[in-house]
Amino acid sequence: MRQTIVRDVSELPTYGYGPRSGPWWGAMGFMALEGMGFAIAIGAYLYLYAVNPNWPIGATPPDLWPGTAETIIYLLSIIPNEMTNRAAHRQDLAKVRTGLIVMSLIGIGLLVLRGFEFAHLNTRWDNTAYGSIVWLILGLHTTHLVTDLGDTVVLTVLMFTRHAKPRRFSDVTDNVFYWNFVVLAWLPLYVLLDWVPRL
Amino acid sequence: MSIAAEQHALRDDGLNGLQLSTRLESIWRTPSGFLGALMSVDHKVVGRRYIVTSFAFLLLGGLLAVLMRVQLARPENTFLSADKYNQIFTMHGSTMMFLFAVPVMEAFAVYLVPLMVGTRNLAFPRLNAFSYWMFLFGGCFLWISFALNVGPDVGWFAYVPLSSLQYTPTKRPDVWAQMITFTEVAALAVAVEIVVTVFKQRAPGMTLDRIPLFVWAMLVTAFLVMFAMPSIMVASTSLILDRLVNTRFYDSSSGGHSLLWQHLFWFFGHPEVYIIFIPGTGMVSAILATFARRPVVGYPVVILSLIATGFLSFGLWVHHMFVTGLPQLGAGLFTASSMLIAVPSGLQIFCWLATLWDGRPVYRTPLLFVVGFIVIFVMGGLSGVMVASVPIDTQVHDTYFVVAHFHYVLIGGAVFPLIGAVYYWFPKITGRMLSEKLGRWNFWLAFVGFNVAFFPMHILGLIGMPRRVYTYTADMDWAHLNLLSSGGAVIFALSFALLLVNAIRSLRSGALAGDNPWDASTLEWATSSPPPPQNFDRIPVVKHRDPLWLDSASLPVVAGLSVERREVLLTSLAEAEPQIREGSPEPSIWPLLTAIATTVFFIGSIFTPWAVLWGTPPMAVTLIGWFWPAGSKEDEE
Ligand code: HEM
Ligand SMILES: [Cu+2]
């Protein structure tokens, strides 16, 4: 088939930020389906809550302090996260490195705290359906925390190698974006796990 | 390390046609040899594997179907034991739904969508390779278990409490539950790739109202997958946790509830039917336009119908649960929405009929299958509206009426368009035409065989034959119709054998196809058959809905992409304005290694919870290998 060149795209950039880039949309896609997973799990919780006359079944509600402490740290973590984001947009390598290290440390801290949270649920997964669903939901969110932390740590290491090319800053902003999702997903779960059993 | 430094790369502007294709081929091709084949991230290579594998599962599932029909051909038959029959109908349903119908549709999308939107690869080629391996390993896992006599036997829906440890203390339901996870991971990965590819990699100028209908259908399907499949994953994970570590999700003695399973299952299971059917409609639209020699009538109506069907399909799951005793108002509501979904499907059918009416149809094999689809699907729709009504459903529930109905919908709605699609796109994928003469035989055998096999089941259901029974007595008067049905099933099966013969013969000695043998209008026909590794030497610019019909003298294209590294052109979401030349990943062995690590993890965890501990590090290592940017051109400057 004959062809006519109608446009030259050689001046276009080779990477971009946010909705201009492909990986950002990939992250959006995964957030959508993971968000759906959380929604379904919340639905299952509420379903079990609705069909059981007593709630929580055979247990006291979870102790409040670990979940609350986590919620506060999650919310505060948005600040260094946002600073990392800005530094990445400015392509400020030194600041990005610091930001990523801070975010990795916060992630590790939250993971430790998560251990306490499991211990203070005041029920085991095999006690009753109540125990099962709270362990499942907390487990789902913990999986997110772990994968995002893994991602952040790898990216941190990467930024200290020769691979710290300009386009990697776009990866950093996607990582920032994903962290916000982990935070956002936590808030309804916190209310569900820690406050609904106290209603 | 500035942007300017990256732009010195050689571009395509200074090269003539032949130099350009050779250069592009050398950077986009899959490495040679066995290892190279395992590393491939080319959507065409992966797509072809995906298609062939899912057809292999169709053959296996079909073989089981024939075994069932042999058993049911006469009363009190002893060909299969009750126990074997349970395994076989479970394996048939699970194979057809999870290993054939959904994967084959996604497989066609993996192959076709990048070509149809005018780009060089999918958005996440390594994820795509990973998805294929997961699908392959999950399917093999199921079938090897079956061969070792630990295949599932609790139905493709694995209802609790039947599938609970208490009632089925073997490993069979665990195999089923993990197979679900494998195939869902694969399906979800493809869904995300399709969405991002369609959103960001469309050729310049392919605005939302110029996207081919097949691509629209796959986009809607991808969204359905993303919103329906998490539900079955939560359900099957909870099931396996109940069985392996004593959680109590479905255990009514500890506050669990077996209806929770049904809600989670059907919240996925109903949209699942549309996940299978909507791509079929996309194939129908593509084939119709080409053979009616005119664009499909009512393009916006078809798209709105697709979207409406997608939305409504989520409101319907409860109609599978009418007999579980729901509140009256709820049942009424769900009846209404079940009937409502007939409206968008009906609108699409009118658009297609109008296209045929107004066009100058050429009845080649692909179009025959489309006409067969319309006939069968309308009948399936009618019996569907019948079972959507609570009083009727209460009567025919769990009888062969339902078996007849859903085979009319699934086979009419998906398999007929699919076989049409095989005839239609075979020349593009292989470079050779299928035989038209065998094609006609294929169609008539399929059409007659199908109706003889499944129409009698409506009557059998109405006169009381329940589904999932392995035999019946002679005094029930079901023998004649069952024999007829089994005969039809054999004829239907022969039609697939004929397709296989046709494909093998044509691969060797079929007529050469050329770029555009059907004189079709969409972009996949603008490149050679089979397409080169880079798909297009220059990315086309789209100015109409039917570029190859309206720009047939000369195709407008862009210049300026790199010829030194893999690059795809990203465009804006709505207007498809060029924005970025983004790097596209090189071939890699890591997706395969990651899939192997994941497989060990999933299968191991059936046997010991410790697999979660020792199975995780290999997954982490392989994932890091996957994402580490070593070996990519842009990082080696
Ligand atoms: C050669 C063609 C086929 C034949 C002869 C056939 C036959 C049958 C029969 C006799 C049953 C009923 C088993 C029972 O209730 O005792 C059945 C069930 C089923 N079939 Fe097919 N089938 C065919 C193709 C398909 C296809 C293409 C699909 C899906 C795309 C499919 C999906 C199912 C499902 C989901 C079930 C329900 C299984 C269960 O109850 O667990 N079948 N089939
Ligand atoms: Cu349904």
What pLDDT digit, counting tens, does each position of B469-482 carry?
A: 999 999 888 999 99
Using a pLDDT cut of 70, give the percent of chain B over it. Answer: 95
Strands A3-8 and B567-571: unpaired
At B396, is the secondary structure helix, strand, or coil? helix
Query: Does residue B420 carry a pLDDT above 50?
Result: yes
Closest by CA position to A193, among listed A76, A63, A50: A63
- In angstroms, the CA A124 to CA A171 distance is 39
What pLDDT is stored for residue B137 in this prediction? 98
The minimum CA-CA distance between B422 and chain A, rounded to whole Å, is 25
- Considering only CB atoms, which chain A residues are within 8 Å of B554? 1-4
pLDDT surpasses 70 at B631? no
Closest Cα of chain B to A102: distance in Å?
Answer: 21
Q: Do A126 and B248 touch (CB under 8 A)?
A: yes
CB contact under 8 A, B255 and A128: yes
Does the structure show a pLDDT above 60 at B7?
A: no
Distance CA B619, CA B597 (A): 5
Query: Could you read off the pLDDT of B349-379 as tens digits, one per residue?
Result: 999 999 999 999 999 999 999 999 999 998 8
Residue corresponding to tokens 């670990």: A66
Please state the pTM of the whole predicted model. Answer: 0.95
Residue B321 pLDDT exceeds 80: no
Closest CA to B175 of B607, B596, B597: B607
Within 40-69 of A, beta carbons closer than 8 Å to B belong to: 40-41, 44, 47-48, 51-52, 57-58
Q: Is the pLDDT of residue B4 over 50?
A: no
Residue A70 burial (10 A CB sphere; 0-12, 13-18, 19+): buried
Burial class of residue B83 in the structure, from the number of CB atoms within 10 Å of its CB (0-12 exposed, 13-18 middle, 19+ buried): exposed
- Decide if B635 and A165 are in contact by the 8 Å CB cutoff: yes
Give B432's strand partners: B512
pLDDT at B42: 98
d(CA B19, CA B23): 6
**What pLDDT was estimated at residue B242?**
95
Rg (CA), chain A: 21
What is the pLDDT at residue A25?
Answer: 96
The minimum-distance atom of ligand 1 relative to the CA of B69 is 10
pLDDT single digits (tens) B187-238 = 999 999 999 999 999 999 999 999 999 999 999 999 999 999 999 999 999 9
Contacts of A52 in chain B (CB under 8 A): 255
CA dihedral B333, B339, B342, B347 (to 10 degrees): -70
* Buried b or exposed e, range B278-309, using 16+ CB within 10 angstroms: bbbbbbbbbbbbbbbbbbbbbbebbbebbbbb
pLDDT at B9 over 60: no
Give pLDDT tens digits for A146-195: 999 999 999 999 999 988 888 899 999 999 999 999 999 999 999 999 99
Residue A70: pLDDT above 90?
A: yes
Angle, CA of B9, B11 and B14, to the nearest 5°: 130
Q: What is the pLDDT of residue B545?
A: 95
Which are the contacts of B33, defined by CB distance < 8 A and separation ≥ 6? none
pLDDT at position B330 over 80: no
Question: B553-602, pLDDT tens digit by residue?
Answer: 899 999 999 998 999 999 999 999 999 999 999 999 999 999 999 999 99
Nearest residue to B637 via CA among B542, B545, B575, B562: B562
User: What pLDDT, on the 0 to 100 scale, is given for residue B10?
Assistant: 55
Q: Average the pLDDT over B265-272 and give the result.
A: 92
Q: Average pLDDT for residues B5-21, to the nearest whole number?
A: 66
Average pLDDT, chain B: 92
Ligand 1 midpoint to CA B91 (Å): 10
CA B3 to chain centre: 41
pLDDT single digits (tens) B604-630: 999 988 898 999 999 999 999 998 886
Cα–Cα distance measured from residue A3 to residue B562, given in angstroms and rounded to the nearest whole number: 19
Structure tokens at B591: 């997706």
Kindly give the distance from the C-alpha atom of residue B65 to the centroid of ligand 1, in angstroms, as a whole number: 6
Give Cα B229 distance to the centre of its chain.
13
**End-to-end alpha carbon distance in chain B:** 9
pLDDT for B12: 64
pLDDT band at B635 (very low <50, low <70, confident <90, very high): low
Out of B124, B255, B555, name the one closest to residue A2 (CB).
Answer: B555
Nearest Cα residue to atom 9 of ligand 1: B65
Query: How far is it, in rounded angstroms, from Cα B335 to Cα B329?
Result: 10
| Set of chain A residues whose Cβ sits within 8 Å of the Cβ of B260 | 44, 47-48
pLDDT of amino acid B6: 42
Residue B262, amino acid: Q
Q: Which ligand is nearest to the CA of B321?
A: 2
Average pLDDT over residues A96-117: 97
Report whether A151 contacts B626 (CB < 8 A): no
Q: What share of chain A is helix, strand, coil (3-state, %, to 5)?
A: 75, 5, 20
Q: Using an 8 Å Cβ cutoff, are A26 and B200 in contact?
A: no
The interface predicted TM-score of the complex, written ipTM, equals 0.96
Q: How many helices (H) and strands (E) does chain B have?
A: 22, 3
* pLDDT given for residue B127 in this prediction: 97
Distance, in angstroms, between B26 CA and closest chain A CA?
Answer: 20
Q: Best of B66, B77, B81, B89 to mutate for ligand 1, by most ligand atoms within 8 A of CB?
A: B89
Query: What's residue B472's pLDDT?
Result: 95
Q: What is the helix, strand, coil percentage profile of chain B, to 5?
A: 70, 5, 25
CA–CA separation, A33 and B195 (whole Å): 12
Element (H, E) at B555: strand B555-559
User: Which tens digit of pLDDT belongs to each residue from B89-122?
Assistant: 999 999 999 999 999 999 999 999 999 999 999 9
Assess A33–B contact: CB distance below 8 Å, yes or no. yes
Chain position carrying tokens 């925390």: A145
**Cβ atoms B277, B344 nearer than 8 A:** no
CA distance A162 to B369: 56
Residue B29: alpha-carbon gap to chain centroid? 26
- Token reading at B306: 């697709």
**How large is the average pLDDT for residues A49-71?**
94
In the prediction, which pLDDT does B8 show? 43
Mutate to test the interface with A, among B11, B571, B581, B633 (most CBs of A within 10 A): B581
Q: Given this model, what pLDDT does residue B551 score?
A: 85
Q: Is the pLDDT of residue B5 over 60?
A: no
Whose structure tokens read 């006690």? A127
Cis peptide leading into residue A53 (ω within 30°): no
Beta bridge partners of B489: none
Q: What is the pLDDT of residue B316?
A: 72
- As a whole number, mean pLDDT of residues B500-528 equals 96
Atom of ligand 1 nearest to the CA of B58: 27
How near does any CA of chain B get to the CA of A189, in Å? 16
Q: Write down the pLDDT at residue A134.
A: 97
3-state secondary structure B582-625: EECCCCCCHHHHHHHHHHHHHHHHHHCCCHHHHHHHHHHHHHHH
Buried-exposed string B618-627: b where 16+ CB fall within 10 A, e elsewhere: bbeebbbebb
Mean pLDDT of B304-326: 80
Per-residue model confidence (pLDDT) at position B3: 41
Per-residue pLDDT, averaged over B520-530, amounts to: 96
Cβ atoms B140, B95 nearer than 8 A: no
Residue in the structure block whose two tokens are 């709105």: B304
DSSP B461-508: HHTTPBSS-S---GGGS-HHHHHHHHHHHHHHHHHHHHHHHHHHHHHH
pLDDT band at B329 (very low <50, low <70, confident <90, very high): low
Structure tokens at B143: 């079938």
Residues with Cβ within 8 Å of B143's Cβ and at least 6 positions away in sequence, in order, are B60, B91, B95, B151
Smallest CA-to-CA distance from B532 within B9, B14, B30 is with B30
pLDDT reading at A10 higher than 80: yes
The 3-state secondary structure of B138-158 reads HHHHHHHHHHCCCCCCCCCCC
10 Å CB burial of residue B210 (0-12, 13-18, 19+) is: middle
Q: How far apart are CA B100 and CA B95, in angstroms?
A: 6
Question: In the beta sheet, which residues pair with residue B466?
Answer: B399
State the Cα–Cα distance between residues A10 and B136, nearest whole angstrom.
40
B195, B242, B580: residue with CB nearest A15: B580
**B530 preceded by cis ω (within 30°)?**
yes
Query: What are A109's two structure tokens?
Result: 């801290």
Q: Taking each helix axis from N to C terminus, what angle separates B172-200 and B590-607, rounded to the nearest 10 degrees?
A: 150
CA-nearest residue for atom 35, ligand 1, is B93
From CA B430, how far away is CA B531, in angstroms rounded? Answer: 9
Amino acid letter, A19: P
